[in-house]
A and B are shown apart, each in its own frame.
Chain A
Amino acid sequence: MTEDALRMALNRLSLQQTDELLEGFDSKRPISAKATARIKGRIMQKAGFHRLKAVYYTHKALVLAASLAIVLAAVVLLNLNPLVAAIDRFFNFIPGYGIQENNAQILYALKDPVTAESETAVLTVTNAVATKDGVTVYLTLDRKASGAGAAESKQEKSSSNGQPDDSQNIRLTVDGRQYVSSWRLHGSGYNEVYELRFDVRGSSLTGTSRYTLAFSDYHIHCDFLLVPTSHFDFLDEIGPTQMHNNIWLTATSSLQDGRLRVELYPVNKTGYTLIGFKNLFNLKPYGKDLYLQTDKGDKSYTAPDLFGINYCYDFDVSDGAQGWVLKTPGMIVQSNETQDITLPIPDEGTQKAVNKKIRLKDATVTITSVTQATDNDGHKALKINLSYQNAHENQQLIGVDFARVDSNGHEQSCGYSIESDASQKICAIDFDIEKQDGHTLKLRLDRPQYVFTDEYSLALNQSR
């Protein structure tokens, strides 16, 4: 059988055969934000819907994901004592951008989104923030059909790798001084989506500074204002907040046309890396997912995003449902702990009790036994049976990664498969054995992942 014959046969499967082939296969596939924006815009336009909408969602999600990543990274970098049980700092809250602590650099944020229009394009500044040294502007540019041809060629010449090769055409004026962008992220399609950064070191931004963004290619400019960021003493002044295990979760919500949009902002002081808090990885098998509790029953969400961390959720409350309470099933975190171990390789077909305990900060992994097995093709594998002992009832270890290491401690290529139990915890690993392994296998255990099982319950403000 050739690979070509295999490909051709799979090209020609019937619906039922395709269904059987794809059963259980995770249909989520990564796709770039730019391609997503372009294709969504194209589909919405062909379907006769307002074409800005899909791009708007994507851009908002991009901004949100990026800002949350910044917040999470900042929190990790703080490396605070995980036992800190209270937050008594000031917070800067920038709606649509994120929460930062009082040592954050952002001083000003966009007062309101603004739109300007010329004969060739519509420019909307959707968000902007400023530090003392730089201004970052997020915008959409909607080209009009009459000017699309000329504009297209210019846009296609530009790169999206952050190098502003058309930077002279895009200028920010602050209090009469002009700046070209020092960095740029750009997605193109029916709409252009830009993140532009301007280095304004040496200038003196104030709360009354005036900003003008101009695209000379489109003969368009947009004036906007940045205002000092909102300061809060406590997170619950921003929105309903709950804390478990030194992870705070704050929600904001807005209601429009029967759609309740909820944005979540985590502040993580655990020392672990926050992975997610909805149905990522292992929570769904527990039968849990994020939902909205209302007086008319529980409602599931739609997420206006395809990629990255997704902390923005829409709920349909057009039936007049009230008494909104957002419920999240828990948090998944990952540790950077790592340990090297050496395991015996027993004789073929035999099992050897090991009972090797690997102590982590908040749990213990026990390698109960190992077995050498041979599959039908004669390939040998070491089956490593695992069990976990958790130090805390509400913090469950759900899996660890393994890598083969050589005698110098360098990671090597390896093949293994995973067996999970009914709750999706990894209970055994089959590691391919190579000829040079002899009687032992040296492995590195790393990236243990935990789930904090405490539910977050956030009563949303009805008046928002």
Chain B
Amino acid sequence: MQDKDLITLIKENAEKGLLELMNRYLGLVYSVVRGSLAGIGSREDIEECASDILLELYNNIDRIDLSRGAVKAYLCTIAKRRSIDRYRLLQRQPHAEQAEEAELVASGPCCEDTLIESQTKELLVSSIRSLRAPDTEIFLRRYYLRQSTCEIAKALHMKGNTIDKRISRGLAKLKTMMEGLL
């Protein structure tokens, strides 16, 4: 089923369409949220956030424009932003654990775009895409989904130290390609 068929299904049969949306993308959304909230969010926080993201897309199905991006791109974009909102919320709670990346994420995901210009991000994306297979997927898993070496190794049927080695080499390549922009 293509994305356009999924959208049509949601519009024509909301319940069936929502189930199909979950069947297809729940795992992906969950992975993004879990990676973003690791160390600070409870299981309940992660599941609540994931469910809100899928509902947000479901409730805004009329606004999806597939010429701008696939459904998974919409979901991941929403997931990143909602996860960071949730991260900030949790940080303000008294017993929330301080995670290593607290300062990094709290510095703002979307509102200081002057710091990292759009062109820089475009170059970063194209640079990651230009890495030799399977390095693109390794980078996507490590730095977008924030999976551990062990998780990546298991998913790609590779050894852990091979993953680390490829990341190290890939970072060096990216550094060259980005010419000091990051």
Which A residues fall within an 8 A CB radius of B? 1-23, 25, 27-31, 35-36, 38-40, 42-44, 46-47, 49, 53-54, 57, 300, 302-306, 316, 375-377, 379, 401, 413-415, 417-418, 432
Contacts and interface: CB of A to CB of B under 8 A. Distances in A.
Interface in B15-30: 15-16, 18-20, 22-28, 30
Contacts of B77: 13-15, 18
B165 interface: yes
- Per DSSP, chain B at the interface is helix
Interface centre among B105, B109, B180, B182 (most CB of A within 10 A): B182
A42 B51 contact: yes
A30 B178 CA distance: 32
Given A29-B27, A46-B51, A21 B128 contact: yes
Contacts of A432: 162
A28 B28 contact: yes
Contact of A49 (B18, B118, B132): B18
Interface string B77-99: 10010001000000000000000
Contacts of A376: 173
A47 B15 CA distance: 9
A54 B20 contact: no
Nearest to B27: A29
7 contacts: A7-B101, A8-B116, A13-B80, A42-B48, A53-B15, A414-B159, A418-B134
Contact of B125 (A2, A20, A29): A20
Contacts of A15: 68-69, 73-74, 77
Nearest to A411: B159
B101 to A, nearest CB: 7
Contacts of A16: 68-69, 73
A9 B27 contact: no
B4 interface: no
B28 A29 contact: yes
Contacts of B7: none
Interface of B: 1, 5, 13-16, 18-20, 22-28, 30-31, 36, 43, 47-48, 50-51, 54-55, 58, 68-70, 72-74, 76-77, 80, 84, 101, 104-105, 107, 109-110, 113, 116, 118, 120-122, 124-126, 128-129, 132-134, 137, 140, 143-146, 157-162, 165-166, 169, 171-175, 178, 180, 182
A405 to B, nearest CB: 13
Contacts of A302: 1, 16, 19-20, 23
Contact of A377 (B27, B30, B129, B169): B169
A377 B169 CA distance: 8
Contacts of A36: 26
Contact of A6 (B47, B173, B174): B174
Given A19-B68, A414-B162, A415-B165, A10 B73 contact: no
Given A22-B76, A28-B27, A377-B173, A57 B19 contact: yes
Contacts of B15: 44, 47, 49, 53
Contacts of A44: 15, 18-19
A29 B32 CA distance: 10
Contact of A19 (B1, B69, B160, B180): B69
Contacts of A39: 22, 26, 30, 47, 50-51
Contact of A4 (B5, B101, B140): B101
Contacts of B165: 415
Contacts of A11: 36, 80, 84, 105, 109
A46 B54 CA distance: 11
